[in-house]
Structure 1
Amino acid sequence: MALQAPEGLKRFLPRLAHDLRHLGYEVIISGDPCYGACDLDLRARDRADVLVHIGHTPVDNTKQVIYELWPVDGDLTVISDVIPRLNGRRVGLVTTIQHIHLLPRVAELIRNAGIEPVIAEPSPRTPCPGQVLGCSFNAARKTGTDEIIFLGTGLFHPIGIQLATRARVFACDPITGRIEEPDADRLLRVRFGLIQKAQNAESFGIIVSSKTGQCRSELADYLCTLSDKAYRIMLGEVSPDQLLNLGFPCYVNTACPRLAYDDQVRFSVPVLTPCEFEILCGVRKFETYEVDEIS
């Protein structure tokens, strides 16, 4: 048996391996970085009968993988606090997989306040109702509401939800109790600056991921048709050192969408999204900007 978990949960793997060994299992611990179910350690799986992936739900049909969730509880007082700030009588509810078990209670609180909670049905990439990923905001879009509550930590998901839906978004953190309304306009200004910076690039490296859940080779093929200065690059792990060594003055990312958004400060040159490369090549207007997602 092979065990894999994201960075925040890796510290629990030695204890889990110890318990499984005493139950008679031989255990391999995956020590490589893990960013989600799109990042399965297939080498570890191929050396075991099964890979147990902890903390995420499946995004594809990879065989010999068992998914184990890691629920995280929180204080739902934050929902009671956000209700007075709502303007409408319908609100969309979304969250990440860690808090998905809390969503029925959130819906009940909303309903008791006389507001209709809207939770989208599952999709192939997000198999739980109301679930969003850093690469998929479809559950938010499908609510069709003008206001959306995101239950979770951080602002990446809420900003992506705002860009994907153009709705008013409330980021409600059940751990800190903090409520924020994300400012997607600031991100757009940063992204516009990167597009401008990349205008005079002599060549473009189109990044294609070798990870099963991130490989968008057809998208990369399309992007290469937009410029005769574009070249495909196959990578397993996208890091600043790798891109620096390759030496392209600009890259276009078709791997995990969060790379371009979250990690741009780590890269010495612009790393554009597919949509941004379309804008740079003149086949799309900036006014029709779309957040990068994997469907």
Structure 2
Amino acid sequence: MLLLLNPLTYVEVVWNLGAALEYLSRMGCRRVLVQLPQGMTHASERFLSAVEDRSMEALLWGRPAYGACDVVDPEAAGADCLLHVGHLPFPWLTPERAVFYVPPTEVDVGAVADALADRRSVALGGPAGVLPWLPRVAGELRRRGVDAGICEGRGRARWPGLVLGCNFTSLLSCRGEPVVVSDGSFHALGLALLLGRPVVRVDPLGRAETVDPMPTLRRRYALIHGASGVRSWGVIVSDIPGQRREELASFLCRSIRDAGLRCWQVRVTEVTRAVDDLGLEALANTACPRVSIEDSPMHRIPILTPFETLQALRLAAGGRLSRKYVMDVMF
């Protein structure tokens, strides 16, 4: 699939590795930077060898890519082309000479349809790897009398049916009960936190579960209470272009200082355990919102989302917590 992302930039998006390599070869690439997602770094030699088998030099980016927000400029790394694996591109964050290869996740269409056959109306979505299968699932459901939709989202999730950990607009744009088709519960949990209620997830083999946000919400509110008594804050700003939110960071630091507390911005590439040793009592995270939620257990100090930070300040000022949790969504 050839996409025109802006008047100067063409990018190939394919679900077949052979086709990805062919596109790189046709583009005249000589040095290809390979960028892999966290779950596939162990298979780096397979991709590097495949590139070199096409008479191109292969370079490996030494840090996992955490999403399409984390795309490397190949020229800055000494290459002339990029092979990014596992994610679909954002229109405004794509190098000029790039191929995005998404390994498809095989979906048992009949089994997934069986799991949803008792619903009246569903909106289907999932991560990039399941997207080629969703129209077939929707078709099978419609054949069984279920109103099944696949909708285009906004911003980062413009691909029909695409669900990101930080953007769920493809499901919210559709009528019907939102259903996440995915291997794990990561995407469904984000949607459940956004909606404030359980969400149905069906895995590619047709096994359904209900993802309940309440255990996570209880942990988040406990962290908010813990952070309401601190005096010194850091506001995390990512140097990953797709996660950098400078204006939000400035706003949060102003809000913290207006409350009579101390605040400094903290610049990072990744939010690691090292941030616990900066001498600050709590951190407001403006980088990937899921870092705050999924990685909090490994930290000794509270790491809050922007909403949670404002709630901690409200609590410290004698106010009440909001009755509705606001999921940090990135557009």
Shared fold by TM > 0.5?
yes
Identify, as 1 or 2, the structure richer in strand: 2
Structure 1 portions without partners, runs of 5+: none
Q: CA deviation at 1:125?
A: 0.8
* 3-state SS of 1:207 partner: strand
**SS at 1:225 equivalent:** helix
Moved more, 214-223 or 165-174: 165-174
Distance 2:131 2:240 in 1: 26
1:102 alignment partner, SS class: helix
Cα RMSD, aligned residues only: 2.0
Residue 285 of structure 2 is aligned to residue 249 of structure 1: no
Would the aligned equivalents of 2:198 and 2:212 in 1 still touch at CA under 8 Å? no
Find out whether 1:271 has 2:303 as its counterpart.
yes
Q: Deviations over 1:258-277 (max 9, x none)?
A: 10111111111111111111
Shift of 1:182: 1.0
Deviates more, 1:37-46 or 1:63-72: 37-46
Equivalent position to 1:135, from 166, 188, 198: 166
2:270 maps to 237
Q: Tell me the distance in 2 between the aligned counterparts of 1:44 and 1:11.
A: 24
Asked if 2 retains the 8 angstrom alpha-carbon contact of 1:100 and 1:131, the reply is: yes
Q: Tell me the residue number matched to 2:63.
A: 32
- The residue matched to 1:37 in structure 2 has which SS? coil
Change (3 A) 1:144 1:275: farther
1:149 aligned partner: 179
Q: Distance in 2 between matches of 1:273 and 1:80?
A: 36
The structure-2 alpha-carbon separation of the partners of 1:103 and 1:239, relative to structure 1 and needing over 3 Å to count, comes to same
- Which one of 217, 220, 225 corresponds to residue 191 of structure 1? 220
Q: Does 1:287 align with 2:330?
A: no
8 Å CA contact retained: 1:54, 1:67 = yes
| TM-score (norm: length of structure 1) | 0.91
Moved more, 271-280 or 69-78: 69-78
1: distance between equivalents of 2:141 and 2:64?
38
Aligned to 2:54: 23
Match of 1:47 among 59, 69, 78: 78
Alpha-carbon separation, structure 2, partners of 1:208 and 1:105: 41
Cα distance in 2 for residues equivalent to 1:24 and 1:92? 44
Query: Alignment partner for residue 209 of structure 2, among 180, 188, 203?
Result: 180
> What secondary structure sits across from 1:161 in the alignment?
helix
- The alignment's TM-score, normalised by the length of structure 2, stands at 0.82
Q: Secondary structure at the match of 1:279?
A: helix
- The equivalent of 1:114 in structure 2 is 145
Percent of aligned pairs sharing the same letter = 32
Q: CA offset at residue 252 of structure 1?
A: 0.9
Query: What is the letter of the counterpart of residue 180 of structure 1?
Result: E
For the Cα contact (< 8 Å) 2:135–2:150, is it kept in 1? no
Aligned twin of 1:262: 294
Contact 2:196 2:213 in 1 (8 A): no
> In the alignment, is the contact (CA less than 8 A) between 2:37 and 2:64 conserved in 1?
yes
Secondary structure (helix, strand or coil) at the match of 1:170 reads strand
- Equivalent position of 1:75 in the other structure: 108
The residue that corresponds to 2:192 in the other structure is 162
- Offset of residue 285 of structure 1: 4.2
Conserved 8 A contact 1:78-1:173: no
**Residue of structure 1 equivalent to 2:238:** 209
Query: Shift of the alpha carbon at 1:85?
Result: 4.6
Cα displacement (A) at 1:45:
4.7
Mapped to 2, the partners of 1:250 and 1:29 lie a distance apart of: 35
Separation in 2 of the partners of 1:167 and 1:112?
A: 29
**5+ residue gaps, structure 2:** 1-31
Please give the per-residue CA displacement for 1:124-177, whole angstroms capped at 9, x wherever unaligned. Answer: 3123201010111111221243x21110022221121123235652110114x4
Alignment length (residue pairs) = 290
Do the aligned partners of residues 166 and 192 (structure 1) sit closer, same or farther apart at CA in structure 2, a change above 3 Å counting? closer
Q: Displacement of 1:24 after TM fit?
A: 2.1
